Amino acid sequence: MYQRSLYLTALAACTLGAIVLLSSCKKDEEEETPIICGLPNGTLKWKENGVEKCANATLFADYTIDMTVSGLSAQGPTFTMELDSLNVGTYALTADYNYILYTDGLALGWEATNEQPGSITITSHNESTNRIEATFHINLVSPISGATKQITDGQLSITYTE
């Protein structure tokens, strides 16, 4: 009897220990690591269908005839903007003017269209420091399926090269 009681006590202790250990591991797995945005030359972030994303692996902007901004997220998405106007003001984002091309984490392409234009607001452009800041939102369209992807709360703050 004593051995059986000792065995059951040891089994209960091991079971309790395993539950505590497994439940503590599960909590760590469930906690999401916050996305760290911002690179030395600036920030490009947005929400994709309400989920925050950003270019946190690479980000660059080059201004020749038009401004090209390209960013890559460590989570997979890429974001490319071709900006035709850099003057402070609000402009349409379309297939013909101020174009956006986006690939999601599955490498599926999404683009700006003339039928569902978005909007970009250049809030600041300092030509002496080559710094531009803007906000944007758009519904991008898959050229393959015609499905849409909502991009909201977009923010761009970057120093560009010429």
- Dig out the tokens for 114 from the structure: 């003339």
Q: Where are the domains of the chain?
A: 1-31, 42-159
pLDDT at 26: 42
Residue ranges of the chain whose pLDDT lies below 50: 1-30
- State the DSSP code for 128: T
The pTM of the full predicted model, rounded to 2 decimals, is 0.76
Across the chain, mean pLDDT equals 82
- 3-state class (DSSP) for residue 23: helix
Q: Give the CA dihedral 37, 38, 43, 48, nearest 10 degrees.
A: -10
- State the DSSP code for 49: T
pLDDT at 106: 82
**Tens-place pLDDT, residues 32-50:** 556 678 888 999 999 998 8
pLDDT at 13: 36
| Calpha distance 98→155 (Å, rounded) | 15
